[in-house]
Amino acid sequence: EEISLCCESLSREVESLLLQGLPPRVLPLHPDCGQAVQAVYEDMDARKVVVTHWLADFSFSLPSIQHVIDSGLELRSVYNPRIRAEFQVLRPISKCQAEARRLRARGFPPVVFFPSSFSPQDPASACILSPS
């Protein structure tokens, strides 16, 4: 639902901008998309804005990604033994998870990753991960 709302909001914003050429096409990418996922891979004249929460969490990539905006949040299931129930908590990801997302989203040409706070200023403080 959040992805659909974000796509609608972005589409309205894109329409309000006076851009030269074709306006970017906002595409949702989530498990419920079914065959609509193929639109992400299609060649089109307009730029594509792909809204997803799982691009960096699975081992696949999209060609020619130029910019990535990551909220730095994850929805995590947490079990509470007092009430004997599991519930979902939205929480910030760790620096290691952020670095893993950055490496998985890397494309050609090189990616600009937002927020830039995910890109460590001090290489010694970064997680050691090999690109997948």
Q: Does the pLDDT of residue 124 top 60, yes or no?
A: no
Residues 34, 13 within the same domain = yes
State how many domains the chain has. Answer: 2
Q: Rounded mean pLDDT of the chain?
A: 72
Question: How much is the pLDDT for 114?
Answer: 57
Residues 3, 91: Cα–Cα separation, whole Å: 18
Check whether residue 73 and residue 23 sit in a common domain. no
Domain assignment of residue 94, given as a range:
61-120
Q: pLDDT category, 56, cuts 50, 70, 90?
A: low
**How much is the pLDDT for 86?**
95
Q: Do 48 and 69 reside in the same domain of the chain?
A: no
User: Does position 130 have pLDDT exceeding 60, yes or no?
Assistant: no
Same domain, 75 and 41: no
Q: Using the predicted structure, report yes or no on whether residue 7 has a pLDDT greater than 70.
A: yes
pLDDT in tens, 33-53: 777 777 777 777 778 887 877
> What tens digit of pLDDT does each residue of 78-92 get?
999 999 999 988 888
Number of residues written out for the chain:
132
Q: Are strands 112-114 and 67-69 parallel, antiparallel or unpaired?
A: parallel
In the prediction, which pLDDT does 32 show? 73
In degrees, to the nearest 5, what angle opens at C-alpha 106 toward C-alphas 105 and 112? 95
Most confidently predicted of 67-71, 79-83, 119-123: 79-83
